[in-house]
Amino acid sequence: MKQFTLEELKKYNGENGQPAYVAIDGVVYDVTDVEPWQGGKHHGNVAGNDLSEAIMKSPHKHSVLAKLNEVGKLEER
């Protein structure tokens, strides 16, 4: 699996034809084709970022992750 730095991940923001990736608990997921993530934004969250804390505040928490494709790992700082 590809290793992403936070700087690399920021490129995958879902804008200008880029795929939309988010990192959660060290795993990078592709949310490009997830309808609520169209344009790289979803309820104030922006693709290309580590959303580990944000997902804990969401109503669905980690339950949605099983439906997403893993594309890599986020390097630890």
Report whether pLDDT(40) > 90.
Answer: yes
Q: What is the CATH number of the domain that holds 57?
A: 3.10.120.10
Report whether pLDDT(52) > 90.
Answer: yes
Query: What are the distances in angstroms from CA 3 to CA 26, 29, 44, 56?
Result: 10, 12, 26, 24
Per-residue model confidence (pLDDT) at position 60: 87
Look at the chain and report how many structural domains it folds into.
Answer: 1
- Domain, as residue range, for 15: 2-74
Report whether pLDDT(2) > 80.
Answer: yes
